[in-house]
Structure 1
């Protein structure tokens, strides 16, 4: 039998994300049932995410990190609970080479890549790539989460639906809004959409 190398790598990535989420949950002394209750999903769904059987959407991943009280960056760390090891952390600065940056692929093929080279308390900085048809939230309903979000469009086209209007972002456009405002991000274009995002968590 011939194994598909990309499928094997993708399965390993998803299992790694799930394992890190499980470690973060256990570190905080939270049961799977308590996390499920906080997310309004079943304990079975939590188990499937942690085992890498079920890919979380962007909105689900953010909801999990919010419920656990950890930054989104913690998900990218092979060592659960902190930011990934930078190439250099000396003389008051952190450096991470492009080849060592961490990324995860979520439901509908949306990929996240952490941009911050070291711990940045209260701030998440990352790049997202939404394939055509890719969405942050699997349903048509809008979602909200903690923090304040700033986005900058690099290439392609992203659409953000708010409760009272729709905004289409194209290269060079930028946007900011409180994450508590109901919204949904999705790619309505015909090519992958690349954007950089800064999420500020004043309480962390």
Structure 2
């Protein structure tokens, strides 16, 4: 059932994951599903746990910064596969075992790196805010990814009155529309800034 629910969410969005829709997909009567789960909330909890299970935990054999970096890159890749999931990840009140294991592994990595308990809490919150925020932003980009952004920027600039919005024009024409531009490159740039800042804060023993 969970695999079916995941497929529905990936194809048409999590709002379409209803008991009736799942019954149709599975070829059973809706009431029969309640023999397996108490309701939609339990399915959503299971979906969130499934998403966390796909995100790599920080490898134990690496320095903390490298390990957390790999975990954040994995989280972004998973959320690109499941763009519906981002708003749900921290909103469930009955976390599953994969979710709990993931959080514990991230906390363990940060503490292993010598971060204080307070800084560990700040670091985890800030890192996930960045990862989730970037994932939400990517999910709403024009179709076509980076190429679509470049085309949109070109179209917007063409509609501007002459001399208007000079900094937007500069960014669009001399950066976004240039060969090799990729919005996604900002993710690793921002992630490294955050990790460097957290490392510096750890050095100040916050």
TM-score range, shorter chain: under 0.3
Q: Higher Cα Rg: structure 1 or 2?
A: 2
Which of the two has greater strand per residue?
1
TM-score, with structure 2 as normaliser? 0.23
Which of the two has greater helix per residue?
2
